[in-house]
Amino acid sequence: MTNRRLAFVGLGADTTSACLSMLKIMDGRSSVGWTQSEPDDADVLFVAHDGGANRKHWENGDKPCVVVYHNTEARPAARYTLPHPFRVMQLIGVLEDISSALGDTASATRAKAPADKPQDETFGHSLKNLLEAPANDDSLYRSRGAQGHLYVAPASGCYYIDPGLHQQLRSKDLSLSALEEVNDPISNQLARRPIFELAWFTAQHAHEALAPWLAPAGQFKLKRWPNFGTVRSDRVYLSLCALLTRQACGREQLLEHAQCNAGQLDRFLSACSMSNLLISDSNAPAPAPQVTNVNENGRFGSLIRGLRSRLGLSS
């Protein structure tokens, strides 16, 4: 197996971690093994489209450069490009092009890569990719689990699920296969539910508390609130949302504010991210403003505590 090194220049930590976790998925399925290195030692570079002089410097060198641009921007004029966020197949595609240009036997790369998508692409990754794609995708996607199938119809904002399976989805990880496009007719035995709910619970019960594409040291902010009318949750989540729609915060601050444990916080951030509600910035850790636990110190502190207790809301 050929080993090749790649390096990231000027890219956010969420992009690099997404890329690295996808490479992990591909590991052993391709005739080329990829490892991360410093730019000077790398065979291939991933550079940010808005990288300015830095991008120019590496593009003028002799190493293949993949220019990573945001999918809301126009595709930059470069030989190799990758829109962010990208899917595993897009990453495989560009790496295959590069390795054949570098003289690796492209056919060998392809031969071992599965025909449609890597077997281990997780359900979570495939769902995230679908949700980030443009909203006008009117195809139907299926995932298979030991206890039954579910179908996702992105354009209509809903998914279809067996009522029994639906109960389980709310409380545990269903070990579902990655979503794949199908032409099946949808049985009318299946319940039609909002996709948001699927995204939320999938991230909630995922194996890893913090989604691999989120940077632990990043700053987070919420674009919108999750619909807690559909996905019931406790006060901690309400409290986190209230702060995160006001200001960007790091994980430390959030832990302090909501008085919760790290696992709970990470599952919350992952669920918000999977549901496309989270803005994360891994590049600019703002100086942490002091967040005080308001329950003790706010103007209405004791009144709010009293009201919650009168209404039977947990304290």
Partner 1 sequence: MDTIASNEFKILFTGPMGAGKTTAISAISDQAAVSTDVINTDLDQCEKELTTAALDYGQIALPDGSCVRLYGTPGQERFRFMWPILMKNAAGVIVLLNGEHQELEQHLEHFVQAFGEGRTLPMVVGVGRLPEDDHSRLERLAMKLEQRGIALPIFDADVRKHDDVLLLVDALLCLIEANDTGRMEA
Q: Which stretch binds partner 1 (CB under 8 A): 16-24, 112-120, 160-168, 286-294?
A: 286-294
Which tokens sit at 245? 């729609």
* Residues from 28 through 47 that contact partner 1 (CB under 8 A): none
Three-class secondary structure assignment of 178-220: CCEEECCCCCCCCEEEEHHHHHHHHHHCCCCCCCCCCCCCCEE
By C-alpha distance, which of 46, 42, 44 is closest to 13? 46
Q: Which stretch binds partner 1 (CB under 8 A): 141-149, 156-164, 175-183, 201-209?
A: 156-164
Told to check if 119 binds partner 1 by CB under 8 A, we report no
SS3 label, residue 226: coil
Pick from 110, 168, 209, 225: which binds partner 1 (CB under 8 A)? 225
Pick from 223, 259, 261, 286: which binds partner 1 (CB under 8 A)? 223
Q: Quick one: DSSP state of residue 288? A: -
For residues 16 and 8, the answer to whether their CB atoms sit within 8 Å is yes
What separation, in Å, do the N-terminal and C-terminal C-alpha atoms of the chain show? Answer: 58
Which tokens sit at 21? 């976790």
Pick from 78, 113, 262, 291: which binds partner 1 (CB under 8 A)? 291
Q: Which is nearer to partner 1, 101 or 238 (CB)?
A: 238
Told to check if 292 binds partner 1 by CB under 8 A, we report yes
Q: Which stretch binds partner 1 (CB under 8 A): 11-19, 37-45, 70-78, 221-229?
A: 221-229
Dmax (CA) of the chain: 73
Q: Which stretch binds partner 1 (CB under 8 A): 76-84, 103-111, 259-267, 305-313?
A: 305-313
Told to check if 192 binds partner 1 by CB under 8 A, we report yes
Told to check if 207 binds partner 1 by CB under 8 A, we report no
Told to check if 163 binds partner 1 by CB under 8 A, we report no
Q: Which is nearer to partner 1, 119 or 302 (CB)?
A: 302
Q: How far is CA 76 from CA 29, 58, 87, in A?
A: 30, 15, 18
By C-alpha distance, which of 61, 40, 45, 41 is closest to 8? 45
* Residues from 124 through 143 that contact partner 1 (CB under 8 A): none
Angle CA 39–45–48, to nearest 5: 105
By C-alpha distance, which of 160, 166, 117 is closest to 141? 160
Which tokens sit at 19? 């890329």
Told to check if 304 binds partner 1 by CB under 8 A, we report yes
* Residues from 237 through 266 that contact partner 1 (CB under 8 A): 238-239, 241-243, 245-247, 257
Residues that bind partner 1 (CB under 8 A): 156-158, 192-196, 222-225, 227-230, 232, 235, 238-239, 241-243, 245-247, 257, 289-292, 294-295, 297-304, 306-308, 310-313
